[in-house]
Amino acid sequence: MPDLAQQNGQPLPADESPSTDHRVYGPSAIPTHPLATAPVGSPPHSVDGFVKEFLHELNTNQGVALSRSSINDQYLALASTVKNYLMARWLETGRKTREAKAKTVGYLSAEYLLGRQLGNALMASDLAEIARRGLELCGIDIATLRAQEVEPGLGNGGLGRLAACFIDSLATMDVPCIGYGIRYEYGIFRQTFIDGRQVEQPDTWLALGSPWEFPHPEASVEVNFGGHTERYTDADGVEKTRWVPGWNVLGVPYNYMVPGYLNGRVNTLRLWSATATKAFDLQIFNSGDYAQAVRAQTFAENISKVLYPEDSTPQGKELRLQQQYFFVACSLRDFIDNELEADFDLHQLPERIHFQLNDTHPVIAVPELMRILVDERGFDWDEAWDVTKQCFAYTCHTLLPEALEVWSTDLLGRLLPRHLEIIYRINEEFLAEVREAYPGDELRARGMSIITEYPERGVRMAFLATVAGTKVNGVAALHSQLLADKVLPDFSELWPDKFINVTNGVTPRRFVKMANPKLSELISDAIGSGWVTDLERLKELEPYAEDEDFRQQFREAKAWNKQRLTQLLVTRDGIELPDGHLLDVMVKRLHEYKRQSLKLLHIVSLYEQVLSGKIKAEELTPRTVVFGAKAAPGYKMAKDTIHLINAVAATINADPIVEGRLKVAFPANYNVTLAEKLVPAADLSEQISLAGMEASGTGNMKFALNGALTIGTDDGANVEIRQLVGDKHFFLFGMAEPEVAELNAKGYHPAAYYESNPQLKAALDLILSGHFSEGDPHLFDSVVYNLLQQDRFMALADFESYIDAQQRVEAKYADTAQWTRSAILNVARTGFFSSDRSMRDYIKRIWHTRPVL
């Protein structure tokens, strides 16, 4: 087995790394607790009861005595103990929901970036202190066991983390919800760096066991693909269509519990794993063709093998579509067959479910529900469409045209022939409606067609979701406006009431209370603990920004967080963070529009000015810049940018001329677990995407809630953050979205900015000189000349404004009292960005669900 405790050649710390040491420990290492042989029965909400349950799990599930147990045995036993405590509440939640026949949210998402489960479960169930004391009696440090958990890599970034926040909030608000997705065997890749370049490794998150899931193979769903359709006449003489599939797989459900915070409700996350309907052919095996004997199983398992398979090949595209159909087909079938009463009238389906389409990945669910109603349940087309268009709503997470999925009709027709027929009919009837509303405007009708003819015939999934959904929402005020005005303008003109905004949010339980215990304690001491479920109460902190004692305690909490992060990075990555530095953080998916290149140019510019003697090193504000980012495996420019960042970091960190004044750190494999330590430690949050490109962002919210100040453009949720915290407490720079559009219309020439700005020119020239590439002047040509000749996201145009804003950052940071005051006001004024508030907006404006108490 590979050593999971190693990353980039460095051992991970107790806070980060699972132990692969399966040696047992003798009685001298772990004391025998007096209850070790006591019968199980005490309630787990007492310390003795918890110890009995823990030892019972260790003995019966792991099959070991405490004195001979490994760290992994102890972790699995602890997880099972907590899981059992939640189990009764989970079963009771299901019973209440069924009895109430309550309307449920079906959250359909290709990603769930959950983070570690143990800490959240302990917090939500109020067992953290009991567990700590109970394990202490057994001679076990709970921190060691918490570090043993491997984070599931089931998401790529904000989309998946948002989904996890939303299902957490719905459970806390007592609202019935089932999250549906895919149980990826390897998930998102584990990022490593070799010679500064990103290298993707499999994310073996299941290797040491996953105690938080419940597999239910008996509830598997058969999912069909391929084949053809045929017309036939039923017993009543009605001509109908049926799908004759060519092959199929099974979807096995794995349930995860989603506990609400201290309220006893436990909702469900149901993830699907693909397996073959006939996994093993004994006759072929006995003939000696061993590989062919298991070919069907291998083929089926590919569907749930990895998150977002690289899709530059036809095979990769087909696998992605297989994934999307697989999980929505399983999910719709599951809800209809297992969550509704056997005699339920599906004409009433909108009264019991609202499926939220989290981006375009699950949109194939629309024709799938139509297929079920028309082909299997005998609905006529009109009544089926009336039901279907009341059951879905669509969240758009992008403004980039290339991110709005389009599936070729050739691929769809080959893989899902019946669904393509249904889409064609939906489109035909929709276009009739458009032509009736806009007679004689055929150009408009073609522009709104779900079917595009260029560059190849395809299905525009965002258009299909818009036609079928009750509502279409963006995820920040600016994004929603641009979505309606620029991305889907004809649709918003036809159906203005269909387009709404629901600004994203984050769960304060994980990202403040759990991630930042020192700040949480300080807040609760000042205003009470009610803010954890009512984040708007943070407003009550505003007067404390003027209290010097509170400011000092706030600084002490920040210093403690920095020390904790330093300890983690030393053991996790071999990275040492200097004391007393401004901690400047940019962590997000690596994409050109997010402009990590602009941050890098700022760093190179600071270094170049010292190197060339324009300024002295001691004039620099001591600053450590931390990057965290993964690039999609097939995204060459993003991977080249990572290589350049690492090269710049290696050069600057080794140069004594800036020692103690400037440092760059890029820990590999940024994930939720690292975020929970990095975000609370940050002083400055870099949110520097080109205005009009970022949908919302949620990292910006997490940083502000944890007391970091933002430097950013007026993009995504930055706009609302700035409006709430005030211009004095936000470092705004760059063009506004209308200015970006105007510059694009006039013609953007990035080289002109290079020629006219000496500071920018010097920074780019230093890269081109080979200073960061051991004298090779061409190693980073791809990045530099992309900026000089194309610069699609206008980093060079915003460079001067960005540098000016960074100078304002340095001036403010020099005034400790004023910086701290602004940081406190950022916390106090960003309670709006709770995912609980987001959920209230969805419930009121889209889902119309009610809590079940």
> Which residues are catalytic, by number?
397, 588-589, 594, 698, 702
Joined tokens for residue 68: 């001979």
User: Tokens 């049926």 — which residue?
Assistant: 242
Whole-angstrom Cα distance, residue 324 to residue 111?
11
CA distance to 495, 516, 533, per residue, from 258 (Å): 36, 21, 16
In the numeric block, which tokens belong to residue 563? 């020390």
CB atoms within 10 A of CB 104: 24
Alpha carbons 556 and 552: distance in angstroms, whole number: 6
Enter the DSSP assignment of 715.
-
Question: How many angstroms separate the CA atoms of 12 and 17, rounded?
Answer: 5
Neighbours of 844 (CB within 10 A): 11
* CA-wise closest residue to 827 among 745, 708, 720, 740: 708
Dig out the tokens for 510 from the structure: 């994980």
Length of the chain: 853
Residue type, 131: A
**Continuous H helices in 294-408:** 295-301, 314-334, 365-371, 381-388
Q: Which helix (H) or strand (E) holds 149?
A: none
Return the C-alpha torsion angle 701, 706, 711, 715, nearest 10.
0
Rg of the chain over all Cα atoms, to the nearest angstrom: 28
Q: What are phi and psi of 572, to 5 degrees?
A: -75, -45
How many whole angstroms separate alpha carbon 131 and alpha carbon 126?
9
**CA-CA distances (angstroms) from residue 514 to 83, 122, 651, 704, 824?**
19, 10, 36, 16, 19
Structure tokens at 690: 């080109």
Widest CA span in the chain = 90
Q: Measure Cα distances from 175 to 137, 178, 703 in Å.
A: 38, 10, 28
Do the Cβ atoms of 653 and 663 come closer than 8 Å?
yes
Distance CA 16, CA 845 (A): 40
Q: 13-32: b or e for each residue (b if 16 or more CB lie within 10 Å)?
A: bbbbbbbbeeeebeeeebee
Structure tokens at 467: 């036609």
Gap between the Cα atoms of 109 and 357, Å rounded: 7
Q: Are 777 and 769 in contact (CB under 8 A)?
A: yes
Q: Hunting for tokens 């997880």 — which residue is that?
A: 79
Q: Give the DSSP H/E element, type plus range, for residue 708.
A: none
Structure tokens, 839:
């959920």
Could you tell me if 544 and 550 are in contact, meaning their C-beta atoms sit under 8 angstroms apart? yes
How many Cα atoms within 13 Å fall on the side-chain side of residue 376? 14
Nearest 5°: the CA angle 436, 429, 467 is 95
Strand, helix or coil at 551?
Answer: helix
* Residue 378 tokens, joined: 């005998």
Backbone angles phi, psi at 309, to 5 degrees: -55, 145
Question: Strand, helix or coil at 801?
Answer: helix
DSSP element (H, E) containing 240: strand 239-244
**What are the residues facing 182 on neighbouring strands?**
272
